[in-house]
Chains A and B, each alone.
Chain A
Amino acid sequence: MGGSAGKKGGLRALPKKPKIDQVRNEINVTPLVDVCLVLLIIFMVITPLMARGKDVPLPKTELHSEEKDKLQPVVSIGKDTKTGELMVWLAGTSAQGKQELFEIGRLDEFQMSQDGEQNIMESEARDKLAKEVNRLWEVTKNLEAKGRLFMKVAADVPYEAVYPVLMAVNEDLTLTTIDLGTADKRGGE
């Protein structure tokens, strides 16, 4: 028995020289590591750009607070890249947890009355904004999102154009506070 085993061993030892033919019994981790590192870098680069809502050039601040995203609806005000008009968009999370973004209307549809009485004019856009925000609050699964609104206004929009939207939100949705989106002054420069 031992003899035969020795013989076998001897026989096997002979064709051992071509090492390349040997089957490696481990996974080849090098490509795995490559893929993981590339993924890591991609996510590191993309995540700051993944902010919800229509992307607008935000004003820069230094002493903002950094808060957890509560998945509240996001109102964006900024220039449409195609038409160059100032628009209002709304983004939110649907009942299925998917992100949705839709156009509310032109910013100039939100207006104060011209008689100096500071009433907000009725408009389709104003109704739509109130209706859609209420709908988003209803379908949200995140309790913290209810009754909250996040507003991203482009840095170059004049105040008198934004004011009617702030008033409409305050009146139609009975909101008392709004979170205003800003960018980090030091990171952005």
Chain B
Amino acid sequence: MGMGTSSGPNQVKSDINVTPLVDVVLVLLIIFLITMPVVMRTVTLEVPRKAEDTEETAAKPIIVTQLADGRYNFHDAIKEDRVISNLDLTKELRTVLSQKSGEKVVFVDFCDGVPWQEVVSTMDRVRAVASPESAPIKERREAGGDIKVALKKKEKKSEMDPNKPDPCTSR
């Protein structure tokens, strides 16, 4: 017995010490449990925003209408309405928005038949304008929030301006 006790501490243990390993694994488990389910990927949309919110947006709204074929009708107060491809949308918005001071609001509208994927992609394209393409993705995601995407309320037939053709039916 005496021999056993004296030689005990000097013996080299050949097993790994698992206690800290278990600690680390448990802590990792808890961290994952807490952090993983709380992330929700969202694109925030303002549902139909009242045009009278701010005078500036009411007077010169930028209205982007996506046609059934995927192209866009671009409306702003500077130039005439024009139909552009989805590749040109970012470019066009960038030039128009850079001249705007104050709140940056883009109204979006969609013709019948546009699938929801395109609706959300359009918002994605609008958000992309806020930052240069070369910026890191995390930065771009944050910057995207600076531009507000608002849904344009469909016009009532009785309030429609007969001189302004509806982009969905006129082309």
On A, residues with C-beta under 8 Å from B are: 8-9, 12, 29-30, 32-33, 36-37, 39-40, 43-44, 47-48, 50-51, 59-69, 112, 115-118, 150, 153-160, 162-163, 166-167, 169-170, 175-184
Chain B positions within 8 Å of A37 at CB level: 25
Check if B145 sits within 8 Å of A59, measured CB to CB: no
Which of these, B28, B116, B141, contacts A66 with CB under 8 Å? B141
Chain B residue nearest to A74 (CB atoms) is B40
Whole-angstrom distance between the Cβ of B115 and the nearest chain A Cβ: 6
Which of A12, A60, A61 has the most B CB atoms < 10 Å from its CB?
A61
Chain B positions within 8 Å of A156 at CB level: 115-117
Whole-angstrom distance between the Cβ of A143 and the nearest chain B Cβ: 16
Q: Would you give the 0/1 interface string for B27-39, flagging 1 where the beta carbon is closer than 8 Å to chain A? A: 0110011001111
Check if A59 sits within 8 Å of B116, measured CB to CB: yes
Chain A positions within 8 Å of B2 at CB level: 9
Number of B residues, CB within 8 Å of A: 56
Chain A positions within 8 Å of B118 at CB level: 159
The interface residues of chain B, by DSSP majority, are classed as helix
Tell me, in angstroms, the Cα distance from A150 to B40 when the chains sit together: 10
In the complex, besides A159-B113, A180-B45, 20 extra interface pairs with C-beta distance below 8 angstroms are A29-B18, A36-B22, A43-B33, A60-B121, A65-B141, A65-B142, A66-B39, A68-B38, A118-B153, A118-B155, A118-B157, A155-B117, A158-B116, A162-B116, A175-B47, A177-B45, A177-B46, A179-B40, A179-B42, A179-B45
Contact of A182 with B41 at beta-carbon distance under 8 Å, contacts A59-B121, A63-B127, A65-B142 already known: yes
Contact of A68 with B40 at beta-carbon distance under 8 Å, contacts A29-B19, A33-B25 already known: yes
Check if A36 sits within 8 Å of B37, measured CB to CB: no
Which 3 A-B residue pairings sit nearest by Cβ, starting from the closest?
A116-B157, A47-B36, A155-B117
Contact of A69 with B38 at beta-carbon distance under 8 Å, contacts A118-B153, A118-B156, A180-B120 already known: yes
Which of A40, A60, A159, A182 has the most B CB atoms < 10 Å from its CB?
A159
The interface residues of chain A, by DSSP majority, are classed as mixed
Tell me, in angstroms, the Cα distance from A9 to B3 when the chains sit together: 9
Whole-angstrom distance between the Cβ of B55 and the nearest chain A Cβ: 18
Whole-angstrom distance between the Cβ of A5 and the nearest chain B Cβ: 8
Tell me, in angstroms, the Cα distance from A61 to B36 when the chains sit together: 20
List 29 A-B pairs, Cβ < 8 Å.
A9-B2, A32-B22, A33-B18, A33-B22, A40-B32, A43-B32, A43-B36, A44-B32, A47-B32, A47-B37, A51-B40, A61-B43, A64-B124, A65-B43, A65-B44, A66-B41, A66-B141, A68-B38, A69-B38, A69-B40, A116-B156, A116-B158, A155-B116, A155-B120, A159-B113, A162-B116, A170-B47, A175-B47, A180-B123
